[in-house]
């Protein structure tokens, strides 16, 4: 059963004349956003699977920014800054770090 709920987000929209850079509020479909995030996080987990240590430093957290489209798709934000569009920052910590934060 599809989830028909939406989440209002500020996203990039087509401006008149096909110019980009305009922003507006769009009702992003929750089911599409959920599927997009699930796919992106699964692929990110695979990409970061072998990164545990850099020199003498252990990786304690990975921070990823994803831009959200009006349709509920997500894209990694590279070197460009997102201005006026919907984005989500995901922060991942290894299981040992999560247990330590929770006092285990």
What pLDDT digit, counting tens, does each position of 12-64 carry? 777 666 556 678 888 999 999 999 999 999 998 888 888 777 777 777 788 88
**Is the pLDDT confidence value at 98 over 60?**
no
pLDDT of the residue at 37: 93
pLDDT of the residue at 36: 94
**Is the pLDDT confidence value at 82 over 70?**
no
**What is the pTM (predicted TM-score) of this model?**
0.67
Are 11 and 85 in contact by the 8 Å Cβ rule? The answer is yes
Higher pLDDT, 10 or 94: 10
Are 76 and 64 in contact by the 8 Å Cβ rule? The answer is yes
pLDDT of the residue at 101: 60
Specify which residues 75 forms β-bridges with. 67
Are 60 and 39 in contact by the 8 Å Cβ rule? The answer is no
Residues in CB range of 69: below 8 A, 6 or more apart: 11, 12, 28, 75
Tokens 């990823």: give the residue.
64
């Amino acid at each position: 059963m599809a989830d028909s709920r939406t989440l209002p987000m500020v996203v990039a929209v087509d401006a008149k004349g096909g110019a980009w850079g305009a922003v507006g509020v769009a009702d992003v479909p929750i089911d599409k956003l959920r599927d997009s995030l699930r796919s992106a996080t699964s692929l990110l987990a695979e990409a970061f699977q072998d990164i545990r240590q850099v020199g003498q430093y252990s990786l304690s957290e990975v921070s990823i920014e994803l831009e959200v489209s009006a349709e509920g798709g997500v894209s990694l934000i590279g070197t460009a800054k997102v201005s006026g569009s919907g984005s989500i920052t995901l922060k991942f910590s290894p299981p040992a770090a999560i247990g330590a934060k929770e006092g285990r």
